[in-house]
A and B are shown apart, each in its own frame.
Chain A
Amino acid sequence: MSKREPIAEGSEWTFDALETFEREIGKIAADRYRLDTYRNQIEIISADQMMDAYSSVGMPVGYHHWSFGKQFLSTEQRYRKGHIGLAYELVINSDPCIAYLMEENSMTLQALVIAHACFGHNSFFKGNYLFREWTDASAIVNYVLFARDYISECEERHGVDTVETLLDSCHALMNLGVDRFRRPNPISPEEERQRQKEREDHMQQQVNDLWRTIPQKEQIAEEKWPRFPSEPQENLLYFIEKNAPLLEPWEREIVRIVRKIAVYYYPQRQTKIMNEGWATFWHYNLMNDLYDEGLITEGNVLEFLQSHTNVIHQPDYDSPHFSGINPYTLGFAMFSDIRRVCENPTEEDRRFSSGYAGADWLEIVHHAMANYKDESFILQYLTPKVIRDLKLFSILDDDSDSAISVTAIHDDDGYQNVREGLADQHNLSKQEPNIQVWEVSLRGDRSITLHHDQHDRIPLDEEDAKEVLKHLHRLWRFDARLESRRGDKVHRVFHCNDEKVWIDSGEGSQSTETS
């Protein structure tokens, strides 16, 4: 293959060069690697705009809330003080796929970022099953637009403070706004707008039915009332939206908006390692291909490798810079190792990864990208080599033991344990408390009761739990209770009524009170 002229000289980027890079990288990505992407929309932004984008959680528009202001101020402060650098890019799961590129990136970095975001992340958004099932990339931008307009309309009608308080409460329960075991309907903003009024009336009707207090003809004896809900409900926000007795229709709509946005982020929260790993894996390969074709110079390659090395740096657990496992490092190492196992399998790989050792690597990485999330991906594809390279080890911190014990290291006996441990660590349903709506007293005091099932005896953070319960009470408007259960035994009970929040220990002996 004859070498071609480099696309750009020097470190200053130009719009022409960006366009050429997009085209050339796109060609390799599609022809050689079968990366299927949404159309790209590249936007060049300044540092200030990047900080804006950070604080609206990556959305091009967002409704107004003080917490986004807090996010902005904190980013600004840390950036101005030099504690953090800003990301080179930010990419949105939308169709067309919007990628924000920082203006101060050098030419090399822009090429790297185009490969990373516009082809890596982009193809992940389009291909991964979670994103396909949970989000609708073509609708999200319009939906957040609708949400912002609707909320600012509510602010005009009901006052900024009222809406803010409601949003505070919704945000507190946002993580419980997802049906983990059911697939949602994709968001469709047109329909949202059209049917919103209809829904308001209909919903209020249903709620009124549920809370009917006028005696009905055939009175059922008190003890015969079926429990409501008949099954425990994990989607707390949905439950509130549909059943909270006193919410106004517009309040239900806002609960719904927060819930819909929670759903949109749900796949991202479960694919951090895969998503970053995939994007990093592809920018690494694509940049090397550009060099092989002569489209970038040796100087570019050195600069790219330096950035790449920084991105995938993993501080050790005892380093002051350690802040958990770096998803770029782990993801990149795993995808690269899938390729290695396919191309150059060792004896160990044939034993450990028999399913795909020696197979077509491109086939396998595509399959992994499309059909896994972090937890299952690690369980399936974390190889002994990666465990050894990162020197991963498992510890058990049990409060009934006087010391922390090391349960596995990177040796033959430990691989499986480390794999399972790391997979668990990325399993949202094990990392977040398991809380469900247990019962609502329909014919009594209208109180709502939640159950928390403790996993491995891990309790709730009590201060936060009390605060969240207040928010729940604010939405439900009647007494709220939360039973934290250890197996069959009640360990703690959190109460919130109109005046105060307090905690009872399971036996009901001790109690601490706060107003």
Chain B
Amino acid sequence: MNAPASSPYALPSAESKAMRHIISILLENESGALSRVAGLFSARGYNIESLTVAPTEDPSMSRMTIVTTGSDDVIEQITKQLNKLIETVKVVDLSEAPHIERELMLIKVRATGRDREEMKRMADIFRGRILDVTDSTYVIELTGDGAKLDAFIGALDRAVILETVRTGASGIGRGERILRV
């Protein structure tokens, strides 16, 4: 991910054998639940690479996906501390088993002259969609795992990128691995 939001209290030693983990949390859809999770990460010095959250099909519950890095010990503590929050219903470390993760990016690019056709072609190659068209710009929507979005950015000339916005990863287990109450 592009913007690691590392806590001011993070200890370098905790990151020595750090591995990337993607953690899914079901929690009560109460005001303040998000800040409890975010506060937990900063207070205990855990890293957050990305955090996404939205209500589920049951509007009384939200599902959050957190991408973090840490040693096994740290990840174990993160899982336990998340479970300890009163509003947490369930926690699962998706990276323990086969799973899918996707992220959405909206990227606004300069689309003039020779670049205009080039941009269209690049979007096609990466299976992106052009959502907004003006004389001089495109907004391209791209979905994939983080590496694919990185690759798209890498494939463009930096000068044509006007702005990017990424949602952070959402994840789900494969097959019969189901996270619900």
Tell whether A and B belong to one assembly.
no
Q: Using a CB–CB distance below 8 Å, which chain B residues touch chain A?
A: none
